[in-house]
């Protein structure tokens, strides 16, 4: 949950109320997700190091989550060396907050360097492999199940790199026991129990592409200064949202800052299907996760 408005709302309402409001917002109030309750809250950023929160904000969010008596997961993005320094500050802050607690806070990593850093310097934190590092093809233009070129290889497009045993072995060496994956439109052909790893599935919004060049982040820059990789921004992605619809797309596409998301079509059996994969956690974003 990255949206400030939702965090403020959470101060004055129950988790269940906020959850149900979010389902209604995405017009999912009639889907089986309504039978679930919130058992964990995510905070942080997967897609932009400029959005990494300050230690003060982390402390504030952590305290709110504690008040609601659910565990806390911190999200980290892909980063440059400057981003590594920022992540360090976040992890220092988290380590201090959770010192002495029985179960270490989860940290979702989307950069091999961050994973390496956690293993070496933050043994009290629990790394989780994020959806950027668990690779799978997602394309809002293609009906993989029925497309002439792709349907014959559906078994490849329904799997991720985590199906490779050597990769899972490496992850375990780095203390990773849980992996997060987007649920692609073409669905998954994976058995979490068989893989011997805990699976978390993002439902609803797939991340499709991301990078350091930010469309909205250049809104207030002069023409010659726009779209430079390391330029600082005014966090315009927190002020505006851009989206596109087109008959050739299988759902609405959100272009939020530096990242494009695809709102995958919902099917009535989706939650049941996810359960059949042995998935132990469903991740639902109440708002666009940037």
Partner 1 sequence: MRITVPLKSIKDIDSLVKAGANEFYAGLVTREWHSRYGSSVEVNRRGFLGPRANFTSTANLAAAIQRCHELHRPVFITLNHLYYVDEQMDLVASILKTLNDIEADGVILADMGALLCAREVSPNLKILISGTEMTQNSETSQFYHELGAQRIILPRHLVVSEIRQIIANVPELEYEVFIMNGGCKFSEGLCTVTHSTEFGGLCQFLGLFCNYSYQRANYSPVSLSEEKNLRINELYYHKFFWPYYRTTGVSEFADICGLCAVRALMDAGVGALKIVGRNMSPERVRRQVQLLKRAVHHAATSSCTEDYHQRIKDLYPPPDMCDWGYRCYFPEVRHSNHT
90 vs 210, which CB is nearer to partner 1? Answer: 210
Strands 259-263 and 205-210: antiparallel
Structure tokens at 223: 């023409």
The residues in 257-286 that bind partner 1, with binding defined as CB under 8 A, are 260
Q: How far is the CB of 169 from partner 1 (least distance, A)?
A: 8
Report the residue count for the chain: 290
Contact between 138 and partner 1 per CB under 8 A = yes
Strands 72-75 and 41-44: parallel
The label of the residue with tokens 């919902």 reads 266
Taking the C-alpha atoms of residue 114 and residue 18, their distance in angstroms, rounded to an integer, is 32
DSSP label at residue 96: H
- 8 A C-beta contact, residue 185 and residue 140: yes
The residues in 216-235 that bind partner 1, with binding defined as CB under 8 A, are 216, 218-219, 223-224, 226-230
Q: How far is the CB of 232 from partner 1 (least distance, A)?
A: 13
Reduced to 3 states (helix: H, G, I; strand: E, B; else coil), residue 200 is strand
Q: How far is the CB of 180 from partner 1 (least distance, A)?
A: 14
Structure tokens at 240: 């505006």
30 vs 209, which CB is nearer to partner 1? Answer: 209
Contact between 173 and partner 1 per CB under 8 A = no
Give the residue, chosen from 18, 115, 201, 277, that forms a contact with partner 1 under the rule CB under 8 A: 115
Contact between 239 and partner 1 per CB under 8 A = yes
141 vs 267, which CB is nearer to partner 1? Answer: 141
Contact between 122 and partner 1 per CB under 8 A = no
Strands 253-256 and 259-263: antiparallel
The residues in 74-93 that bind partner 1, with binding defined as CB under 8 A, are 78-84
Contact between 139 and partner 1 per CB under 8 A = yes
| Other Cβ atoms within 10 Å of 222 Cβ, number | 7
Q: How far is the CB of 110 from partner 1 (least distance, A)?
A: 9
CA-CA-CA-CA torsion for 157, 162, 166, 171, nearest 10 degrees? 160
Structure tokens at 66: 């504690």
Contact between 29 and partner 1 per CB under 8 A = no
Contact between 95 and partner 1 per CB under 8 A = no
């Amino acid at each position: 949950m990255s949206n400030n408005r939702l965090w403020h709302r959470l101060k004055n309402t129950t988790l269940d109320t906020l959850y149900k409001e979010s389902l209604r917002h995405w017009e999912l109030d009639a889907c089986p997700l309504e039978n679930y309750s919130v058992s964990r809250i995510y905070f942080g950023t997967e897609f932009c190091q400029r959005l990494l929160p300050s230690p003060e904000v982390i402390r504030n969010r952590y305290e709110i989550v504690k008040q609601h008596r659910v565990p806390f997961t911190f999200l980290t993005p892909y980063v440059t060396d400057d981003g590594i320094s920022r992540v360090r500050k976040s992890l220092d802050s988290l380590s201090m907050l959770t010192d002495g607690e029985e179960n270490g806070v989860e940290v979702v990593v989307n950069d091999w360097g961050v994973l390496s850093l956690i293993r070496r310097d933050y043994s009290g934190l629990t790394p989780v492999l994020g959806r950027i590092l668990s690779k799978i093809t997602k394309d809002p233009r293609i009906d993989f199940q029925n497309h002439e070129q792709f349907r014959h290889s559906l078994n490849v497009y329904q799997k991720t790199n985590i199906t490779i045993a050597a990769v899972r072995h490496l992850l375990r060496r780095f203390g990773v026991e849980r992996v997060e994956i987007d649920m692609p439109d073409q669905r998954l052909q994976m058995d979490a129990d068989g893989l011997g790893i805990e699976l978390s599935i993002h439902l609803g919004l797939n991340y499709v592409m991301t990078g350091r060049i930010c469309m909205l982040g250049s809104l207030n820059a002069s023409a010659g200064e726009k779209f430079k990789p390391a330029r600082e921004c005014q966090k315009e992605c927190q002020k505006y949202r851009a989206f596109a619809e087109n008959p050739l797309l299988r759902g609405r596409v959100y272009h939020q800052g530096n990242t494009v998301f695809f709102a995958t079509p919902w099917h009535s059996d989706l939650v049941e299907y996810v359960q059949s994969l042995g998935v132990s956690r469903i991740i639902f974003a109440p708002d666009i996760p940037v």
